[in-house]
């Protein structure tokens, strides 16, 4: 919702620059990860995913990097645009046995004109 981003860390980026948003995940057994984008007053939207047997995956203008050694995930957005302004959060998923889906708290991305 509109107030979700108020207490979140904020990354301010100049339009046209690249953005890097980071996420630390909690469980080394997580085998699937997703980045979501949430615009003000809307539900989260899927951006890109990556499995634990990969360390990098590229989409259109976005790249996700996975470092399992330090349990770190990053989202890189190339040539950031005003429409990229939103809250971004990661999700880690255990897909074997009793599944669990854990969401990070998010980072607010502000694109400066």
Out of 21, 25, 30, 34, name the contact with other proteins by CB under 8 A. Answer: 34
Out of 14, 42, 59, 82, name the contact with other proteins by CB under 8 A. Answer: 42
Under 8 Å CB-to-CB from 60, ≥6 apart: which residues? Answer: none
Total residues in contact with other proteins, by rule CB under 8 A:
29
DSSP-derived letter for residue 8 is: S
Burial of 97 per CB tally in 10 Å (0-12, 13-18, 19+): exposed
Residue 53 as a binder of other proteins (CB under 8 A): the answer is no
For tokens 């990097």, the residue is 65
Min CB(53)–other proteins separation in Å: 12
Pattern of binders to other proteins over 93-112, x per CB under 8 A? x-x---x-xxxxxx------
- Of 41, 51, 48, 55, nearest to 86 by C-alpha is 41
Chain contacts with other proteins (rule: CB under 8 A): 1-8, 32, 34, 36, 41-46, 49, 89, 91, 93, 95, 99, 101-106
């Amino acid at each position: 919702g509109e107030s979700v981003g108020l207490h979140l860390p904020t990354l301010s980026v100049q339009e046209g620059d690249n953005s890097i948003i980071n996420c630390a995940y909690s469980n080394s057994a997580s085998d699937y990860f997703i980045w979501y984008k949430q615009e003000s007053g809307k539900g989260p939207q899927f951006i890109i995913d990556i499995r634990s047997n990969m360390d990098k995956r590229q989409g259109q203008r976005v790249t996700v990097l996975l470092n399992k050694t330090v349990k770190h995930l990053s989202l890189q957005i190339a040539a950031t645009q005003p429409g990229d302004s939103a809250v971004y959060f990661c999700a880690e998923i255990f897909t074997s046995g009793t599944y669990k889906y854990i969401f990070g708290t998010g980072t607010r991305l502000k694109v400066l004109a």
